[in-house]
Structure formats: C-alpha cells, structure tokens
Amino acid sequence: MSLATVEDVAARLGRETSSDENELAATLLGDAELMLRARIPDLLERAAKDPAFADLVVMVEANMVVRVLRNPDGYRQESEGGYSYTVDTRAAAGFLTVLDDEWKLLGYRDGAFTITPHLDGDRWPWWTKPPWAFQYDATPGEPHTPPGWWHG
C-alpha cells in the first residue's frame, strides 16, 4: 500500500479518472513506492516521523503515475503528414520514472562523490590539520599535537 492514493493521482491529473485508470493507478502507485524504497530504505519511517516529508512522498508517487496516465503509450514524438511516431524507450520498461528534482526533494543524492577517510572521534590525518594546529600551545603526547621536540 503506497502513501499516495488514487485520489491524489486524480487531483494532480486535473480530471475525473475512469475505473480502468483507477485500477492502473493503484497498481502503479504500489510500484512507484517500491522504486522509492529501493533507493531510500527508511522512506516509510521518515514519512511516519515527518508529515512534510510524507507530503513530498505523496507528491512524487502521484506525479510518477500521472506521467504514465497522461501518455500511456509512451509517445515521444508524433507527426501528421505521412504519419510517423516515436515511442520513448522507457515505455517498454514500465515508464515509471522519478525525475532528478524529485530525488533531490526526497533527500537522495546521486552522482559525483568524494572519498573521505572514516576516522573515529577527533583523530584526523596530519595532512588535514590547519597550519595553526602545529603551533605553541600543544601539549606533547596529546592527540592531534606534534611531538614534544616541536615545541622548542
């Protein structure tokens, strides 16, 4: 059962939905939530704790389904003279998509990353220390301090 309902989808679609569309929307809403939970495992827990986050989840799930209902055949382009059409390749995969902006709204970031060493407590490598960390008031033998002979 998804957080969004068929009524949420109909409200965002801006028109009455047929019984066939309601059945499809209910199925797609379940699929949409599965997609979101695959990347954000604690989605339901976060939604239970934060009503604003729950509203965002409802919005994203409903919009995912609305995109399918507005274009169920997945047409990307259509022409009239000598009739031709192009189908979006995502239509073959179910066509439920989450836009990058929607992932950001939900707090999920994907893409470039930085590798940072995981160090416990206050222990940091010497190369990350600012220059002032190697000055006068350091006590020899304390963590993050240079050896005693540096304190002339």
Q: What pLDDT does 8 receive?
A: 93
Q: Is residue 2 predicted with pLDDT exceeding 90?
A: no
Q: What pLDDT does 63 receive?
A: 92
Element holding 102 (H helix, E strand): helix 100-105
Q: Is residue 79 predicted with pLDDT exceeding 70?
A: no
Give pTM, 2 decimals: 0.62
Q: Is residue 53 predicted with pLDDT exceeding 50?
A: yes
Which whole number is the average pLDDT over 135-148? 53
The string of DSSP letters for 16-47 reads ---HHHHHHHHHHHHHHHHHHHHH-TTHHHHH
Q: What is the pLDDT of residues 108-128, one digit of tens each?
A: 876 655 555 555 555 555 555
Q: Is residue 59 predicted with pLDDT exceeding 50?
A: yes
Nearest by Cα to 94 from 119, 124, 74, 117: 74
Q: What is the pLDDT of residues 91-109, one digit of tens each?
A: 544 578 888 889 888 888 7
Q: Is residue 132 predicted with pLDDT exceeding 60?
A: no
Q: What pLDDT does 92 receive?
A: 46
